Amino acid sequence: MIVNRLASSPAHLVTASLLLLTGCANRPASQSQSVPAELRAPPRPAPPSPLTLASSIEAICATPAGKAVLDRDLPGLTARPEFDMFKAMTLKQLQPMSRGHITDTVLAKVAGDLKALNAEADAK
């Protein structure tokens, strides 16, 4: 009779459930689950996304070739003291704040150079 009362008590059911769950969480993985390091495949790096005018300036500068495009088409942009303030922006977002330095013609040139860069990377 006492056993039936204890088993039907919600507090005891919660305690018993927690003990069971804790025991499962602390159980070491079985040997069949672990794979020796020499048999594991190396992690694959994520494929780089194509660089476009929709990419942040920081993402473009993350690759040496992308930074070279910006340095060639927009000389001095990456060396500006304000770079840390606008590097998360896209060139399109920065254009209205550039006082006419980033024109539609310049953006078209950057877009073409980035497209060529992407095509070159895909060919490799």
| Global pTM value | 0.61
* Domain chopping of the chain, boundaries: 57-123
Q: What is the pLDDT of residue 33?
A: 63
Q: Is the pLDDT of residue 11 over 70?
A: no
pLDDT digits (tens, 9 = 90+) for 16-74: 555 555 555 555 555 456 777 767 777 665 556 899 999 999 999 999 999 999 999 99
Q: Is the pLDDT of residue 2 over 70?
A: no
Q: What is the residue-averaged pLDDT of the chain?
A: 80
- CA 30 from chain centre, in angstroms, equals 33
Q: What is the pLDDT of residue 36?
A: 75
